Amino acid sequence: MSVLQHLDRALHRLYRGCGYLAAALIVLIAGLVLVNIVSRMAGAFVPGMTEGAGYCMAGAGALGLAYTFGEHGHIRVTMLIERLRGRARFGLELWAIGIAGMLLCYLAYFLLRMVYVSYLFEDRSDGSDELLIWIPQAPMAFGFAVFAVSLVHAIVVALATGRLDGRRGGDLVRTAGERA
């Protein structure tokens, strides 16, 4: 097995791990909401529950992006692309993934930089929890960085193989309603 195949498998494990983390954050959201409801019914105030659920939502959304892309779960509009075949379709899809990849690399860089600056200045949230804000920002920034890596990975695989398919065949991003 070549180094590139090992790297490909390692990246797919990273994407899957991010998907598991996203799922765990969604379960944590449910727990935080439940604690918030029960504490209000008991007449107690537990600070930070609402903010914590919001932080978990941002982290879950960002961490789930790379996994969803790898599983062909992103929805796309195919009005133009479905009319193309062969090299024209390949070129247009590669161009679209390339633009998305560039934008995501830009976004990921500045999100990671934002986390670092928040860490340096010890910024705190405005909510009742006064949490160091870099802590909830980090999973979101990491999720977008991994998504950027997954797009670059998809471009490299497409250029190396001449096809826009993932592990399961078909396009990297399946059209809504299509089966695997």
Which DSSP string corresponds to 40-90? HHTT---TTHHHHHHHHHHHHHHHHHHHHHHTT------TTGGG--HHHHH
Amino acid type, 110: F
pTM over 0.85? The answer is: yes
DSSP 173: S
Q: Quick one: which of 85, 106, 94 has its CA closest to 154?
A: 94
Q: Give residue limits of the domains in the chain.
A: 3-161
Tens-binned pLDDT, residue by residue, of the chain (180 aa): 789 899 999 999 999 999 999 999 999 999 999 999 999 999 998 888 999 999 999 999 999 999 999 998 888 777 888 888 989 989 999 999 999 999 999 999 999 999 999 999 999 998 878 899 999 999 999 999 999 999 999 999 999 988 886 543 334 443 334 443
